[in-house]
Amino acid sequence: MLVFVILFTFSSTAFAAKKKETGPTNEPIPEPTLSPDAVKYDEEHPENLSTDQLYALSAVLMTQDKGEVIFEKDADTIRYPASMTKILTVLLGIMFVDDPDEKVIVSETAVNVPSDSSTMYLKAGEEVRFIDILYGTMLLSANDGANVIAETVSGDIPRFVDLMNETALAFGCYNTHFVNAHGYHDDNHYSTARDIAIIAREAMKNQTFREIVGTVTYKIPRSNMQRARTITTKSEYMLQGSEDNPNKYYFPYANGIKTGSHSHSGYCFAGSASKEGVELVSVVMFTGKRARWADTIKLMNYGFSQYVSVTPVDLYNMNPIVIETSNYSTSDSNRGKIQLICQPVDGNTEIVTTKSDVRRMADNLKDIVLIQYSRDFQAPVLAGELMGTMTFFPEKGDPVVYKLTASRGVDVRENVPKTLEQIIQETYADPNPFPPFGFELALILFGPPVLIIGLIVFLVLRRKRKGAHKLRAPKPVNRYLK
């Protein structure tokens, strides 16, 4: 029993001491290595990526449009997000400040950050445009900038942190808790790869946020206390590269987002990339300084090898509609068959799905669209003539309408009898549908009545003749009766 109490007391003391730690130690940031048993990564076959080929201890990859998880490695393990925290900080700044060009005054509290913090060198009393604070916070990973955002949005940092936690929970981040706006280490400031990816995905839905994180260099204009200066993003390894300045980690499809690192978190990176309509979000946590770029590229290439972006037109063209017309000319080599062409009316839409699912969607397209025909399938048909519409109903957004037109013309067969509909249409189209009065019209109008009357008169006269004959005939006499 005494041993239990001693152990319990020791554990509680250690836990309490750990909770008091609020900043990085002087220890170097750890660099994980690959397992010696890991299969060598094959750049030619990114689809074969396995978890042991990543340096990161935790990683996740998901689609931007639906948030479908494509790849994960210990994605729900609690880890420290470091400066990836600023993704949510900047997003909330964009959401809650109506005029980004308004100037804010930097407070003493905002610039009161640990000496080893990354900053944008703000000064107390400095007047800076809020949009410049947003860019500086994201590109320079500025802790002082994050504090300015917090105070501008909520009045003070603690209330802003409450807003951060409420927002994260609303996004579906159930393993996340923030205690500051910038991510400087605190044992109670934690998250997971999955939760950070969820936050990053939500942030990338905001156009202003996308513009900020996709920026490599930005010029902060002169303030009342500092001259103008140009800043460069810490994500430049993936966002910038050229033939003259080769960069092995440059990824042409990358469009953000945020780095993070300290001795407790390792190196981290939340990334985003878009290729041929497929947009992905990745997060790597507790990886190496250079490995975070390599890990991210592996994840992105894996995702692009699995997913493809198609339109309803692409799916339709894999199995187009062919109609059979009637009354087609005997000289028609295709015997009246017409393939319908599908074209967008006002706009198109993208469907991000797995490559293996495209064929199934094409074969079952009629189950997910509404096809309506606007005319019958009788010749003649003109090339390009509208035959109907196809309406696609996306999971989000308004229905998208496509027109179905004839790919070729079909002539009508000679001497084909007119249909009742054609006769009616011709009658309505004729300004004088009734023919002039003449012998033919008189014969049509009066011939049948005269014939009927004549037949009636003939039958009546015939009947009268039969009656008169019966009156004149003698009665038969039976000569043997007396």
Q: Write out pLDDT tens, residues 440-456.
A: 767 777 778 888 888 88
Report the greatest alpha carbon distance in the chain.
161
Residue type (1 letter), 63: T
Residue pair 103/130 in contact (Cβ under 8 Å)? The answer is yes
372 and 257 within one domain: no
Residue pair 258/235 in contact (Cβ under 8 Å)? The answer is yes
Q: Considering only CA atoms, which of 16, 9, 31 is closest in space to residue 292?
A: 31
The answer to whether residue 164 is domain-embedded is: yes
Q: Give the residue with greater pLDDT, 243 vs 298.
A: 298
Residue 152 has pLDDT above 80, yes or no: yes
At 184, which CATH number? 3.40.710.10
40 annotated to a ligand binding site: no
Q: Considering only CA atoms, which of 296, 281, 302 is closest in space to residue 355?
A: 302
**Structure tokens, 319:** 């199995």
The answer to whether residue 467 is domain-embedded is: no
Rounded to the nearest 5°, which phi and psi values hold at 310? Answer: -130, 160
Q: What's the rounded mean pLDDT across residues 395-399?
A: 86
Residue 480 has pLDDT above 70, yes or no: no
135 and 56 within one domain: yes
Buried/exposed 33-61: b ≥16 CB within 10 Å, e otherwise: eeeeeeeebeeeebeebeeebbbbbbbbb
Task: Tell me which of 86, 234, 275, 298 is the catalytic residue.
Answer: 86
The answer to whether residue 221 is domain-embedded is: yes
Let me know the angle formed at the C-alpha of 167 by 162 and 170, rounded to the nearest 5 degrees.
130
406 and 270 within one domain: no
Q: Which of 307, 340, 355 is the last residue of a domain?
A: 307
Cα(259)–Cα(292) distance, rounded to whole angstroms? 9
Task: Tell me which of 141, 154, 265, 282 is the catalytic residue.
Answer: 141
What's the pLDDT at 295?
97
Q: Report residue 458's pLDDT band, with 50, 70 and 90 as the boundaries.
A: confident
325 and 273 within one domain: no
340 and 282 within one domain: no
Phi-psi map region of 9: left, alpha, beta (phi>0 left; psi -120 to 50 alpha): alpha
* Proportion of the chain in helix, strand, coil states, percent, rounded to 5: 40, 20, 40
Rounded to the nearest 5°, which phi and psi values hold at 390? Answer: -125, 125
Q: What's the rounded mean pLDDT across residues 162-167?
A: 98
The answer to whether residue 449 is domain-embedded is: no
What's the pLDDT at 237?
77
Long-range pairs, 45-50, Cβ under 8 A, ≥24: 46/298, 46/301, 46/302, 46/304, 46/305, 47/302, 47/305, 47/306, 49/298, 49/299, 49/301, 49/302
Mean pLDDT of the chain: 88
What's the pLDDT at 435?
62
Cα(264)–Cα(78) distance, rounded to whole angstroms? 12
Residue pair 161/178 in contact (Cβ under 8 Å)? The answer is yes
Alpha carbon 256 to its chain's center: 19
Total domains in the chain come to: 2
Task: Respond yes or no: is residue 223 known to be catalytic.
Answer: no
Range of the domain at 72: 22-307
87 and 59 within one domain: yes
What's the pLDDT at 476?
60
Residue pair 342/310 in contact (Cβ under 8 Å)? The answer is no
Give pLDDT tens digits for 352-376: 999 989 999 999 998 889 999 999 9
Give pLDDT tens digits for 220-233: 999 999 999 999 99
Cα(130)–Cα(210) distance, rounded to whole angstroms? 17
Task: Respond yes or no: is residue 86 known to be catalytic.
Answer: yes
**Structure tokens, 71:** 């790849």
Q: Which of 272, 307, 342 is the last residue of a domain?
A: 307
Residue type (1 letter), 36: P
Residue type (1 letter), 38: A
Let me know the angle formed at the C-alpha of 83 by 63 and 97, rounded to the nearest 5 degrees.
80
Q: Report residue 429's pLDDT band, with 50, 70 and 90 as the boundaries.
A: confident
323 and 277 within one domain: no
Residue type (1 letter), 463: R
Q: Where are the beta strands (DSSP E) in 345-424?
A: 351-354, 369-373, 386-392, 400-406
DSSP alpha helices (H): ranges in 214-285? 236-239
Helix 143-154 crosses helix 157-171 at what angle (to 10 degrees)?
90
Task: Tell me which of 83, 117, 118, 235 is the catalytic residue.
Answer: 83
Concatenated DSSP letters of 95-152:
HH-S-TTSEEEPPHHHH---TTS------TT-EEEHHHHHHHHHHS--HHHHHHHHHH
Task: Respond yes or no: is residue 282 known to be catalytic.
Answer: no
Residue 419 has pLDDT above 60, yes or no: yes
Residue 277 has pLDDT above 60, yes or no: yes
29 and 135 within one domain: yes
Q: What's the rounded mean pLDDT across residues 125-143?
A: 97
Q: Report residue 482's pLDDT band, with 50, 70 and 90 as the boundaries.
A: very low
For 155, 195, 395, the CA distances from 76, given in Å and listed in that order, are: 33, 8, 28
Q: Please enumerate in sequence order all residues whose Cβ is within 8 A of that of 187, keeping only pairs 6 or more positions apart, or say none.
A: 18, 19, 21
Give pLDDT tens digits for 14-51: 333 333 334 455 578 999 999 998 999 999 999 999 99
- Of all residues in the chain, the percent with pLDDT exceeding 70 is 88
